[in-house]
Amino acid sequence: MYDLIIKEITLVTPKNSIICDVAVQDGKISYIGDNASGAAKQTIDGQGCLLLPGVIDTHVHFRDPGHNHKEDWTSGSSAALSSGITTVMEMPNTWPVTVSLEKFLEKQEIAKAKSLCNWGIWAGTNGDNAEELNRMREAGAVGTKIFMGSSTGPLLCEPEGMQRIFSMDNPGLIGVHAEDEAMLIQAKSKMKDNPWPGHHNVRPPEAALEAVRQLCELTEQHQKKVHICHLSTQMELDLLRIQNSKYITVEACPHHLFLSAEGCSDLGNFSKCNPPVRCESDRSALWSALVAGEVDTIGSDHAPHTREEKEVDYWSAPSGLPGVETSLPLMLHAAYRGQIGYGQISSLMSARPAEIFRLPTKGAIKVGMDADLLVIRSGDMTKLSPKDLLSKCDWSPFEGREMATKPEIVVLGGEIVARKGQLVVDKTLARKVQPVC
C-alpha cells in the first residue's frame, strides 16, 4: 500500500510537463505513470493543479540564536513551509556568529529541535578561521559564507583573508556577499550628513561591480566554486558575461526582481536591504538575465527586522527584508502572467539549488527522490495581507500586492504538512541536509 497517491496532476519539470499519477512510499517517490494501481493511505485529486518539487531556499537569516525577537527557527521554518519552501539554508551572521565548530553545533541543535522544514547551516568566516572552517565542513556545513562588504552582523572578510580562504584545499562552496568595503566606506562618508540619501547611493552599484571583479580574479586563480548571493546590477551581469567563468554561479532575490528604487520610495526603511533595491534599469536587466538562463538560483535572503526597528531614521534603521513567505508566490504570479515558465521556476528554485549544493535526493520529481512536493492551483491569486504572514516580524514590502496564493498542499518527506498556507502538523518531520561529496 502506498502512503500517498496524487492523481492526474500536471507534473512540472525544468524541461516539460506531463499529466500523470505520482505515488509516495516511505518518504520517497515510488511511482510516476499513467495509473498508479493499488490502495493508498491518502489520495489527492490533482486535476487542474501543478506539481512542483519543494523549494530549496539556500539563503535565509532566521536570527536564531541571538535575535529571536525578530525571528526564530520555529517561526521562520513555519513561514517557509507554509509557502512551499521545504528546505532552507541558514546564514552565519546570527549572534554569536557561526565561525567555529562549537557555534555551528550549537546552532545545529537549535535547528534540530525547532525547525519544521529541512535545514542546512552555512559556516561563516572573517578570513582567519581556516581550521574551524574545515571542522564545520566535515560536520556538514552547506558552504562557507564570505561578506566582502559590511552588512548586518560583525562578519567582514578583508582581501588578505579572502586570499587565505581561497587558498584552502577545500573550503566547500563559497557563497559571497559581493560589495567592496572600501568603496562602501567612501560613499557613506560623502553622504553622512544627508538624512535620506537613498540607500542605493550609500551602497552604489560600482561597489558591487568591483567586488565581482575581484571574485572573478580569485576564482580563476584558485579554481574554487563560488556562488554570488543576491546579485543586483546590470554591470555585474555584463562583467560575468565577459568572464564566462565555469566556477561561478549566481543567485537573484525576489526583492531585486520585483522592487525598484524608483517604484518603492514610499516604503522608506521598509525597502532597505543590502545590497540595495536598485534602479529600474537594473531590475529589468536582472529579469532578462533570469529568463535567458544566466541566473542559477532564486534565494529569498529572508532577513527580518521588527516594525519598531525599521520605524526610525534612515541611518539607524537596520538593513534586511522578510521574504521567505513571498518568494514562491511572487514567482508563480510572474509565471501566470507569462514573464517566466513554470519549468524555469522548478529549475531556479529546486533543481539548480540541489545541483549546486550537492543534494542528490532533492530538487526533482523522479522515482527514488525525496517526496518533498508542492500541489499548486495555478491561477489562484490574492493580495498579500499581514494577517496571512507567519513570520514573527509580521510585515512585508509586498503588502497589498497581488501574488499567487500559497500552495494548495505541501508534502514534506511524503507527509502532508500544510494546506492552503496553514500548517497541519504539530511535530517536526524535518531533516538536516548536507552536501554529498
Does residue 37 surpass a pLDDT of 90?
no
pLDDT at residue 35, rounded to an integer: 86
Phi-psi region of 162 (alpha: psi -120 to 50; beta: other; left: phi over 0): alpha
Check residue 151 and give its pLDDT. Answer: 77
86, 108 Cβ separation under 8 angstroms: no
Retrieve residue 59's grid coordinates: 539563503
Which pLDDT tens digit goes with each residue over 373-430? 999 999 999 999 999 999 999 999 999 999 999 999 999 999 999 999 999 987 789 9
Among the listed residues 3, 57, 72, 301, the single catalytic one is 301
370 is a catalytic site residue: no
Task: Give the CA distances from residue 259 to residues 86, 109, 321, in Å, rounded to whole numbers and listed in that order.
Answer: 25, 36, 12
Domain 54-356 grouped into CATH 3.40.1390.20: no
pLDDT digits (tens, 9 = 90+) for 321-364: 999 999 999 999 999 999 999 999 999 999 999 999 999 999 99
Cut 0.85: pTM above it: yes
List, in order, residues 6 or more apart from 242 with CB less than 8 Å away.
none
* CATH number at 2-51+367-423: 2.30.40.10
- For residue 134, give Cα distances in angstroms to 30, 137, 162, 266, 356: 37, 5, 15, 45, 19
Predicted local confidence at residue 359, as pLDDT: 98
pLDDT at 150: 87
DSSP string across 304-342: ---HHHHSS-TTTSPP-B--TTTHHHHHHHHHHTTSS-H
Vertex 289, ends 396 and 410: CA angle to 5°? 45
pLDDT band at 229 (very low <50, low <70, confident <90, very high): very high
Across the range 246-251, mean pLDDT stands at: 98
Name the average pLDDT for the chain: 96
Q: φ, ψ for residue 283 (rounded to 5)?
A: -60, -45
Q: Find cell 549572534 and name the residue.
A: 95
**Confidence grade of residue 38 (pLDDT, cut at 50, 70, 90):** confident
Residue 111 pLDDT grade (very low, low, confident, very high; cuts 50, 70, 90): very high
For residues 19-29, give the mean pLDDT. Answer: 97
Contact 321, 374 (CB under 8 A): no
C-alpha 316: how far from its chain's center?
26
In this structure, what C-alpha cell is assigned to residue 167?
587558498
Question: Do 2-51+367-423 and 54-356 fold alike per CATH?
Answer: no
pLDDT for res 426: 76
Q: Give pLDDT tens digits for 358-370.
A: 999 999 999 999 9
Q: How many helices (H) and strands (E) does the chain have?
A: 14, 20
Delimit the domains of the chain by residue range: 2-51+367-423, 54-356
